[in-house]
Amino acid sequence: MPRKPKIAGRGDGIEYRFKIDAYSPDTMPMARLAQYMGELAALLGEQNAVHFRRVTKGSTVLNARIDREAAPKVRDRVASVRAGDAPGEPMRAFNMLNKFLRDDNAIGILRDTAPSGIIVRFPGREIAEEKFASIRQQGSIDGLVTGIRGKDDTIHITIQSEGQQISGCETNRTIAKQLGAKLFEPVRLFGRGRWSRDADGEWALQYFKIESFEALQDVSLTNALAALREIPAEWGDDAYSELEKLRHGPGGQRNGGH
């Protein structure tokens, strides 16, 4: 009997292998594996045509099979990631995979097993942590006074601002005594502070020297806006955003500092 001709189908696709050198399949936490798989799927795209096959031993190697009809699109997408000009989602996934690898002290390689396969390297742990010099500038902090301590001429003030406890504030005895009368009340502190930014772009207050303060009314922004609307004036649809700018500054800097 003559053999039936082979019908081209899903089995004629290509395979991609993503190697993580930090774990073996026996030591890779399941939750972490799921995170890697989710971002790898986002990078490859064409999710209905991308199938997980297995985890290969040695280092942890994720094997994904791409259906034949979707292979050219996935290949173009991976090539654009390697070139650094991919659209937002695959580049976001690439950066997130790099973050996972950096946190796991690993590097990664994505390899297309076709004869002229594409190789994408993920530097992971080799990425130098971007460090930023501290910024010193005049500023203000809004919050509740939650603590006052110290016996010498420098008094330490604790402020609760936007759900965070800020303990890097200092002042003299005179201002501390005045703030003592505002314990657990909202105030706006004025002074000179030092802020730093981490590799993820988050700003944090390191130190703040309180030079003066003013008491604030414990009124929500919504109620304040409602009260302002009762004043005869022209209020546009962007009034709320304008008040946010006045409250947090043009850049919307939060984390306790303005």
CA 192 to chain centre: 27
Q: Where are the domains of the chain?
A: 14-126, 135-221
Structure tokens given for 32: 């972490």
pLDDT (0 to 100) of residue 189: 96
For residues 138 and 192, what is the distance between their CA atoms, to the nearest angstrom? 4
Contacts (Cβ under 8 Å, ≥6 apart) of 254: 162, 203, 248
From 3.40.1280.10, 3.40.50.620, 2.40.50.140, 1.20.58.2030, which CATH number describes the 135-221 domain? 2.40.50.140
Asked if pLDDT for residue 248 goes beyond 90, the answer is: no
Inter-residue long-range contacts of 144-151, CB under 8 Å, 24+ positions, other chains counted: 144/184, 144/185, 144/186, 144/187, 145/179, 145/182, 145/183, 145/184, 145/185, 145/187, 146/183, 146/184, 148/176, 148/179, 148/180, 148/183, 150/176
Asked if pLDDT for residue 177 goes beyond 60, the answer is: yes
Q: For 67-112, how does the pLDDT look when each residue is reduced to its tens digit (9 = 90+)?
A: 888 888 888 889 888 888 887 888 999 999 999 998 888 899 998 8
pLDDT (0 to 100) of residue 236: 62
**Bridge partner residues of 120 (DSSP):** 110
Asked if pLDDT for residue 246 goes beyond 70, the answer is: no
Task: Report if pTM > 0.95.
Answer: no
Q: For 116-156, how does the pLDDT look when each residue is reduced to its tens digit (9 = 90+)?
A: 677 889 988 887 555 556 788 999 999 999 999 987 788 99
